[in-house]
Amino acid sequence: MSEQLHSGSSQVGPSLSSPSAERLRAWRLYVESALALVDVLDTELERDAGIPLRWYDVLVHLEETPEGLRMNELADRILYSKSGFTRVVDRMEEAGLVRRVRPDNDRRSILVVLTDKGRETMETARSDHRKAIEQHFSQHLTDSDIKALTKALEKVSDHARPLRPGRIRS
């Protein structure tokens, strides 16, 4: 029994209902790495560009859609939780990075659009963020590692993205 505990297995023989030790190790390493990288990238982006990663995520989507996005569309696209999203946009508006506008053709909707200051902040943040990605992620992997990881994560993403409640299904 103590050998089973040390090996990470509590059952004798393979189980159809439980991932193998190798798969559990891969999962654990993925989660540890992803969470650590998000923390590091968030801290460095805030230090270097003056914005948190959550704001960067919003700016990326608004930059891709210059005419702006409805609040609910933007909330569906962000990577982070939608919890507190309105407060995030409030703070970004106070910082002059975004503004809310009512379209003439639909007075019930509110669009969030990128301001000139938001665009400038995005340009600075993008450079800082990409340097941090290279330093903390890319430089530690070979080109073949990147190809294999991309292929594997595409499979997981194809499965997981549609399962996220209230998110886009792309």
Helices (H), the chain: 2-7, 21-49, 53-64, 71-77, 85-94, 116-136, 143-160
- pLDDT for the residue 5: 43
- Token pair 């194809």 is at which residue? 158
pLDDT for 143 equals 96
Residue 11 has pLDDT above 80, yes or no: no
pLDDT in tens, 20-73: 999 999 999 999 999 999 999 999 999 999 999 999 999 999 999 988 999 888
CA dihedral 88, 90, 91, 92 (to 10 degrees): 80
- Identify the CATH number of the domain defined by range 20-136: 1.10.10.10
